[in-house]
Amino acid sequence: MSILAAVDDAEDSRVVQRGYELAQAFGEELVVLNVQPETEDLASAEEVASNAIRLALNDPEHVTAAGALGDPAPRILNEAEERGASYIVLGPRKQTPIGKALMGSVSQLVLLNAECTVAFVAEE
- Give the model confidence (pLDDT) of 49-58 as tens digits: 999 999 999 9
Cα 15 from Cα 32, distance rounded (Å) = 9
pLDDT tens per residue, range 58-112 = 988 899 999 999 999 999 999 999 999 999 999 876 655 655 554 458 888 999 9
Task: Please choose, from the candidates 58, 64, 57, 5, the residue with its C-alpha nearest in 3D space to the C-alpha of residue 29.
Answer: 64
**For the chain, which residues make up each domain, given as ranges?**
2-120
Fold exhibited by the domain 2-120: Rossmann fold (3.40.50)
> What is the pTM assigned to this prediction?
0.90
Cα 17 from Cα 101, distance rounded (Å) = 31
Helix or strand or coil: residue 122? Answer: coil
Cβ atoms of 17 and 56 closer than 8 Å: yes
Query: CA distances (Å), 70 to each of 5, 29, 35, 40, 45, in order?
Result: 17, 24, 7, 9, 11
